[in-house]
A and B are shown apart, each in its own frame.
Chain A
Amino acid sequence: MLSRAARPALSASNRALTRIVVPNAASYATLREIEGRLKSIKNIEKITKTMKIVASTKLTRAQRAMVDSRTYGQTSQQVFEEAQTKALEDKKTLLLIASSDKGLCGGIHSGMTRATRRMLEKDSSLDIAIIGEKCKAQLGRSNPKNMVLSFAGVGKDVPTFADAQAIADRITQLPQDYASIKIMYNKFINAQSYEPVIVEAFSEEAIAASENFAAFEIDDEVLANLREYALANSIYWALAEGHACEQSARRNAMDNASKNAGDMISKFQILYNRTRQSVITGELVEIITGATASADM
């Protein structure tokens, strides 16, 4: 038994005693231990509950930001849909992964890592840029050769458009010319489920080569601006949606953790009460036997 193993000195002195009243001596020790564990589980439950509440309040803000950002992303994406832009085949692709710095939110980061690894199996020449520490830690270990950039400091608050713009600028300043930039983020399906999806931001040549491009009457000079702006828009969309997913995932994870802690608490409470009862019963039995024995004399 754990209780006696943990207290060798106590068990040595009690050995003579325990041989006679085994359940009694043992239950005194376990009663303390059960009490201690009960306390620590209660503390953990308090922490997870608080984290859940924090995540819930952040979630509403994040969801509002996500709905707003969708308009940005989808409008800019619509241009390319209408123009029927396709990625050029022969050049390199950059994969930008929008994760975040913080964990404790279930499997959303590792879901994206898995999706990335699947893509790397198909095309091992992909270059990877990562926003957020979590995916960086996972992919930096398994595919360090493919990494070109990593960003940190996201996920503290709702992402701003300034964040997206700065990231877009840094990417356009990369020496290599990419045929298309694929942005991977967690798509928010509902509060329980999300899946990693990809939006594409195209290079200037790909935009210029698209079928219905002439209909837009865009000057060559402005094209570079359009491309940069579209990239920033897409990144902003991905960041905001990823952030909302993260908050909702954290809320769920913390909800589950509090529920499990609640289960454990009720289990331990019953065990504690039973043990306490049996200790009292044992003591009563001792007293009564003692009393009857001395009355006989």
Chain B
Amino acid sequence: MAFAWKAAGLTYNRYLAVAARVVRRSLKEDKRLQAERRGEMDLRFAKWENGKQGENKSLGEANASAMADAAGQEAK
């Protein structure tokens, strides 16, 4: 694989989000506060199986752990 972040199990969107976060954090104080609000994400999600709603989970954490799994598989 040509991309280091792909080997680390990240998706392109996650890669972009991380890069954007770095840029936001390196802004000057006043601009940074404004910009960081654009990077907030507080969603929950639930899986549905056979017509039943599953547990409500935090989307950010679930995505992170899924990517960690993907990284583990990539290493194998």
Which of B41, B47, B62 makes the CB contact (< 8 A) with A163?
Answer: B41
- B13 and A168 form a contact (CB under 8 A): yes
Question: Nearest chain-A residue to B66 (Cβ)?
Answer: A173
**In the complex, which residues of chain A have a beta carbon less than 8 angstroms from the beta carbon of B17?**
162, 165-166
- The answer on a CB contact under 8 Å between A160 and B14 is no
- Within the assembled complex, what's the spacing in Å between the Cα atoms of A45 and B48? 41
Q: Does B33 sit within 8 A of A, measured CB to CB?
A: no
Complex contacts, B52 vs chain A, CB 8 Å: 144
CA distance in complex: A221, B12 (Å): 12
Query: Is A270's beta carbon under 8 Å from chain B?
Result: no
In contact, B38 and A145 (Cβ under 8 angstroms): no
Within 8 A of A (CB), among B39-68: 39-48, 50-53, 56, 59-60, 62-63, 66
- The reply to whether B38 and A169 form a contact with Cβ atoms under 8 Å apart is no
Partner of A162, one of B12, B40, B44: B40
Among A178-225, those with CB < 8 Å from B are 221, 224-225
The answer to whether A165 and B50 touch across the interface, beta carbons within 8 angstroms, is no
> In the complex, which residues of chain A have a beta carbon less than 8 angstroms from the beta carbon of B73?
none
Interface residues in B, total, Cβ within 8 A? 31
For window 69-93 of chain A, which residues contact chain B by CB distance below 8 Å? none
Bound CA–CA A229/B40 (angstroms): 18
Chain A, 133-183, CB within 8 A of any chain B CB = 140, 144-145, 147-154, 160-163, 165-170, 172-173
In the complex, which residue of chain A has the Cβ closest to the Cβ of B51? A144
A228's nearest neighbour on chain B, judged by CB, is B12
Complex: A170 Cα to B47 Cα, angstroms = 10
Complex CA gap A167/B52 in Å reads: 20
Instruction: Among B11, B50, B60, B63, find the residue whose CB has the most chain A CB atoms closer than 10 A.
Output: B11
* A167-B59, A170-B62 known; A160+B41 contact, CB < 8 A: yes
* Given A167-B59, A232-B13: A162 touches B39 (CB 8 Å cut-off): yes
Residue from the list B39, B56, B63 in contact with A160, Cβ < 8 A: B39
Q: Given A144-B51, A147-B51, A163–B43 Cβ distance below 8 Å? A: yes
